[in-house]
Amino acid sequence: MSSETSELDEYRETFRELYYEEALKGFRAHLTIYLIGCVAMVVMNLTLTPRVIWVIWPVLGWGAGVYCHYLGVRRAERNIRRLEEEALRRVQGP
């Protein structure tokens, strides 16, 4: 019984690590694309319409989305616990 428990604990730990790594990887990709997009928009704004500074609005809007993504990654541990509980309920049955 203890070997089954240790295997289950090892599986849970591995699952947690993989879930968090994937969440973090997705956030880093989103942040990188955001930064590249912001630089591109600033360059476009300053070269095409330098008298009207419009770039602030898409940067703020997109930045809010990136911030929400960050919050989701910070809450990954809570999501992992919820997923584990759902899986345990499925295995145990009604």
Residue pLDDT, tens place only, 25-52: 999 999 999 999 999 999 999 999 999 9
Domain span at residue 21 reads 2-92
Average pLDDT over residues 87-94: 78
**Prediction pTM value:** 0.76
Per-residue pLDDT band for 94 (boundaries 50, 70, 90) equals: low
CA distance 92 to 29: 37
Both tokens of residue 89?
């309920």
Tally of structural domains, the chain: 1
Burial 6-26 (b: 16+ CB within 10 A, else e): eeeeeeeeeebeebeeebeee
